[in-house]
Amino acid sequence: MDEGELVDPSEAWCILRTAGRDTVRLARSLEDDGYVVWTPVQLQDVRLSRVKVKRDVRVAIMPSYIFARADRLQELRRLAAMPVKPRRGGGWGQPSHASFSIMKRPTGDFALIADRYLVALRVLEAKRRKRPRAETTFEEGTEVRVTEEGGSFAGLLGRVKRSSETITVMISNRLPVTIPTCVLVQADVPAP
């Protein structure tokens, strides 16, 4: 964003900084208290210590950074200045917010960014989203169709080149298309 570009606070985001390990927890607690916040996350398989069990855990893609709607910047500023950051309406039962600061420009004013500058991060988060495993895979040569969950590929027909529980490569109009197996059905199955 250009230095001189004005950003409407009702449509802009300010950038909060926190300890990397506190990113997801702080975003969740601020959201629970009514703030509009977002940090790009992905699910990651983590093995629990001393137990042979795996569990999906939300991990920040950009540890330390949380984007908060700038329309409540003054409230966030007051909260950031407090040594202990109390929760709203939770009483003593809820732990306080993790420590955070609000990013400033070298000129001293708060750094505000327009929503359009977060599009690339949203795309990255969507790409890293964990896809469910399909119940079945497809044999090579099977004609398949992409369901509505396939987004912009919905309705596309093709023949399977190879298939696994997560990804299928199909040939459509002589071009290979890699698509999640969970959004495919056999072409002769009627659309829902």
Write the pLDDT tens digit of every residue in 105-120.
999 888 899 988 888 8
The pLDDT of residue 190 is 58
Q: What does the pLDDT profile of the chain (192 residues) look like in tens digits?
A: 444 556 666 679 999 999 999 999 999 999 988 899 999 988 777 776 767 777 777 888 899 999 999 999 999 999 999 888 888 765 556 778 899 999 999 998 888 999 888 888 888 887 777 666 777 889 999 999 988 877 778 888 999 999 988 888 998 888 888 888 888 888 876 555
Domains along the chain?
A: 9-127 (no CATH), 143-186 (2.30.30)
Q: Which amino acid is at 46?
A: V
Q: CB–CB of 158/141 below 8 Å?
A: no
Rounded to 5°, the CA angle 87-89-94 comes to 50
Q: CB–CB of 156/150 below 8 Å?
A: yes
Q: Give the C-alpha separation, 172 to 96, whole Å.
A: 54
